[in-house]
Structures are given as structure tokens and as C-alpha cells.
Structure 1
Amino acid sequence: MTNRLVIVPTYNEAENIQKLVRNVFAQQRKFDILVVDDNSPDGTAMLVQGMQEEFKDRLHLICRKGKSGLGTAYIAGFKWALERPYAFIFEMDADFSHAPNDLIRLYNACVKNGADLAIGSRYKTGVNVVNWPMGRVLLSYIASKYVRFITGMQISDTTAGFICYRREILEKINLDKIKFVGYAFQIEMKFKTHLLGFKIEEIPVIFVDRTRGTSKMNTGIISEAVFGVLRMKFKSLFSNYEI
């Protein structure tokens, strides 16, 4: 067991998960992995179970009964991590859009630079996205600008999902009060971290769209992000807003 845990939510990631696990475990620094699987019909969880003997005490699995959303998957992972002595908790996609080599860069931003939250940012130094259609690039980039304007956060990539948290952030945030379940979950977590006064640092990374499996993006997720952010900001103006 290390003090670093990478949480990977999965739904139908059988084509990617074994390779991802081996890539993370091949890094120069040791990381533990927790896969949170939402009852994938393609057998993702069974593939992880098949690797657990090989990576005993380093590869962990939560199997959930249904597809309940990205946010609730991460919250389940956060609660699991807080029951154990992990000091640094990472979020990472299973589809290789986040490069395992960048885990160490996020970790170093916290350990060496004193960040409490390190974000793998697509937009810190321009637009570092590969294989996305132009329409999706523009949508994501404009969404981050919109969120930054509404919330006042000085973050270039507000919807990023490649993150390293210091444990103290997750201990401070009331995880049972997180409202969003889609990609807006990422915005809400950053916003509450910002309100609590933690140090946030963005690390430029190259985001590569998946080559295997199917994207989970849909219009409902986008709507939650656009309209949910307005509600979240409005509620934060009142003293009874619970972080």
C-alpha cells in the first residue's frame, strides 16, 4: 500500500482497463488503483478481478449495481480512500485520454510546489487536445471560459477530470452535499475547493481522445454543466451554502 490512490470510474472499459492498470503500475513512483465499476455489461469488473491476485493490495475494486453517474462513482471512491491512510487521491479516466506518465507531474505539483489541488489542464497553455472534432473542442473550451466567468475561479480548465487532491480537501468538503452527477461534478468540486481557500495549480497536459470504447458525453451532461453552474453560484452567495 502506498499513500497515493488513483480512482478510475468505469463503464464498458474492457478494451482499456487492463492496459491502463499495467501502465499506472509501471510508473517510477508507486500508485494504488481503485476501479469503481458501474456494472459494466462488457465484463470490465471481471477483468479487474482477474488482475487482483497479480497486484495484491494495490489494485482494488468497487462494483456498483447500476450506472449512477461519474460524480457518484468518484464520491464512492473518495469515501473508500478516506477510510484508509491515503494522503493523495487522484481522478483519472480509463480511456487513456489522461496519460499515466502525467500522474507524477500532478503529484509533484502538490509535494514540491505546495498545491492542495493539482489539475491536469488542457487549456493552461493554449488548447492541448488531440483527435477531438473542432465542435467539441470549441464546446469544451467555451464551457471552461463560461464557468470561469460565472464562478470567479482563476482556472483555465474548469471541467478537467485529471486531478490530484490532497486528502485534507476531501475531508473538508461534505461529499454527501455534492449535487452534480455528470461532468459538472468536476466544476462543483473545484468551486468548493476554491471557496475553502485551498491552493490550486494547473499543470499543462495533452488530452488525447479515446481510440477504444465509446464516449459517455451527452446533451444532458452539457445542460447540467451550463445551468447547474448558475444555480451553484447563486446559492453560494448565501451564508447557508454548505461546502
Structure 2
Amino acid sequence: MAARTVHVTRYVTPLREGGSMPAVVEADDDGLYVLKFRGAGQGAKALVAEWIAGRLAQVLRLPMPDLVFAELDPVLARTEGDSEIQHLIQASGGLNLALDYLPGAINFDPLAWQPDPALASRIVWFDAFISNVDRTARNPNLMLWHRRLYLIDHGASLYFHHGWDGDAAAATGAFPLVRDHVLLPWADDLDGADAELSARLDRATLRAIVDDLPDAWLQGPDAFGAPAAQRDAYVEWLCRRLDGRAAFVAEARRARA
């Protein structure tokens, strides 16, 4: 799937429940999107995680809103009366990330809606693979739209890359925090999910996802090298994670037991 870029034409409304204060915006294709700002507190690393995780979800055929790059003109800040929003827009000029807006979607509640066990198993495997610490009962980051579950908000995944020097040695470790995964009680076929999803990933697929990362997201005071070197490091980490997946699958199995 080729990367697509839209241009933001209108700031619609903030979504203040998100820690990075994303917003609903309108773009030049007349679509509505949830915009994740590069200038938010988590910085560009959150967008890197959102892009890699989101594209992986699409490759793995998990339900995920469409992802696009979103070009933002800081001049849009002039029409906003809230100084915090003005600052956020001004700090995020250039390329950001956006997800297709799902109008009328509601937050997933495990007490009100029971997930499909096969899908739950695939999502648990996926989150263990990307080291996603943010799919808990307190904050599931799952939405129900037209009676279908959708994955959102992956900025907290790949948490290893904050302060990272590019070393992929720790990629093969387990993921103990899987014990807090909101869907773990229903994930009764982790081995089946492992066989199915791992077969859809290889180095070429991971390379294609990482190569789409914009240079602007791979620069800054915490960058350990040029953008090309960082892309190579991400690919190596993901490949080692895939090869060493037995550790995180076993950890998820133990946590469920």
C-alpha cells in the first residue's frame, strides 16, 4: 500500500482525552481525519511508532483506520482562539500523521462487548510484537465502529526507541506487560495467531514500511545517526523481534494461564 499525503485545510475540534491532544481536521480530499501532531509532548518518536505499528496492522489484516501523512500549514493557528492549540499547530508545521476519522465510534468496553477470540489472539500477538504498553483495561485504545473492533493510538508502542542508540540486541526479549492486555482473557489461540501473522512478515515487508518514514521524523537532538542509519536500525530490530518471537509468545501464554 503506497503512502498517501493529504493537506490539512481546517482544524475542526480537539480531542482532549488524548495525552498528545490530537484533533479532528479536514483535508484537501474532503475527508475528516484524527491528526497526531509532531509538535506534541511525545515528539516525532510517537509518530514513528504510530506509522510503523499502523502499517504493520494493515499488513497483518487487523482492523485499523487508514493512515496518511498530513501536511500542516502553521498559518491555520491564526483562526484558533485557544493559545495552547495555537502553539501546537505552530510547532507542528510540515509533515504530521493522521488516521481516518470514524464518526460515531465508541470506546471498547469488555463488559459490554465480547471480542472474537481469534481476533483477540491476533491483537495480543501484534501488541507483544510491537511492545505496545497501552492496550490495558484502563486505556484499551480500541474503538467499536459498525459493530467492528478497530485499533487506534500506537504512539506508546516501540517504547525502546526513546533514548535509543540503534542497538537491536534486546529485540528478542519477552514482553512481561502483556499480562495487562485487555484482550488477553479471550486470546485462546496464541500459537495459531503466531503461525498466521508471522507468515505475513519478512525483511522486505518490514523494510518497505520503515522506508516510508519521513526524514523530518528522524532528526533532532536524540537522533543517533542519519535518517538512513536509523531506518536500518528499525528494520534490524523488527527482524530480530520477528525471529525471536517465541519469547514473547511464551510470555503471553504464561500470562494468560
TM range (shorter): under 0.3
TM-score (normalizing by structure 2):
0.26
Name the larger-Rg structure: 2
TM-score (normalizing by structure 1):
0.27
Relative contact order, CA 8 A, sep 6+: which one is greater?
Answer: 1
